[in-house]
């Protein structure tokens, strides 16, 4: 099965983008990963309208990426703050990869506006691709893509009208 013979309807990249691929959602995740928790702080820092912010936060909570936790300032009503779940923190390498790409191709001439470093040694953090055996960093030429367990053939019609059968099974 080749890539163009597989359906993209259950693509996990597509499903992920449905959850976090919108610009404002990624910026909210960036801020949450940097310690922003409260609605007004998100609104002030990201610059969203209350309606758009509430919608994006609601979607991230519904997806299990953020959770709400009650807090109360002395003399005020109980409010909610937003914290990353384990599922949300699992997006951290992707965020670092986006930052790394942006630092290389879109940063100001002076350099990136933020630096992420290892707390112990102070060296810059970067993402790399490795295999499960620990080989890496890998380049795209050193990796292979093949159908996974949920890959589906595209339904297509050949000259004789055989539908819904892989090209390899048609005679």
- Summarised one tens digit per residue, pLDDT across range 21-35 is 999 999 999 999 999
Using pLDDT thresholds of 50, 70 and 90, give the confidence band for residue 67: very high
Q: Is the pLDDT of residue 167 over 60?
A: no
What share of the chain in percent tops pLDDT 70? 90
pLDDT, average across residues 53-74: 96
- Amino acid 3: pLDDT: 75
- Amino acid 160: pLDDT: 45
Q: In Å, what is the CA distance from 59 to each residue of 43, 62, 106, 138?
A: 16, 5, 29, 34
| Structure confidence by residue, pLDDT tens digits, 147-157 | 888 888 887 64
Q: Is the pLDDT of residue 71 over 60?
A: yes
- Prediction pTM value: 0.82
Q: Is the pLDDT of residue 115 over 60?
A: yes
- Amino acid 156: pLDDT: 64
| C-beta of residue 65 within 8 angstroms of C-beta of residue 28 | no
Spell 81-116 as b/e; 16+ CB within 10 A means b.
Answer: bbebeeebeebeeebeeebbeebeeeeeeeeeeeeb
Q: Is the pLDDT of residue 88 over 90?
A: yes
Using pLDDT thresholds of 50, 70 and 90, give the confidence band for residue 42: very high
Q: Which two tokens stand for residue 121?
A: 């040694």
Separation of alpha carbons 148 and 143, rounded Å:
15
Mean pLDDT of the chain: 90
- Amino acid 4: pLDDT: 80
| E strand segments, 47-131 | 66-72, 78-84
pLDDT, average across residues 83-98: 98
């Amino acid at each position: 099965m080749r890539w163009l013979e597989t359906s993209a309807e259950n693509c996990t990249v597509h499903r992920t983008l449905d959850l976090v691929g919108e610009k404002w959602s990624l910026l909210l995740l960036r801020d949450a990963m940097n310690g922003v928790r409260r609605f007004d702080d998100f609104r002030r820092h990201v610059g969203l309208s209350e309606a758009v912010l509430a919608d994006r936060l609601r979607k991230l909570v519904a997806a299990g990426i953020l959770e709400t936790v009650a807090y109360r300032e002395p003399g005020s009503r109980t409010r909610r703050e937003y914290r990353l779940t384990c599922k949300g923190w699992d997006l951290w390498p992707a965020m670092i990869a986006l930052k790394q790409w942006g630092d290389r191709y879109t940063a100001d001439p002076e350099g990136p506006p933020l630096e992420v470093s290892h707390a112990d040694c102070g060296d810059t953090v970067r993402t790399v691709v490795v295999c499960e055996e620990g080989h890496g960093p890998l380049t795209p030429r050193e990796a292979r893509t093949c159908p996974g367990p949920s890959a589906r053939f595209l339904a297509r019609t050949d000259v004789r009208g055989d539908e819904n059968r892989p090209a390899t099974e048609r005679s």
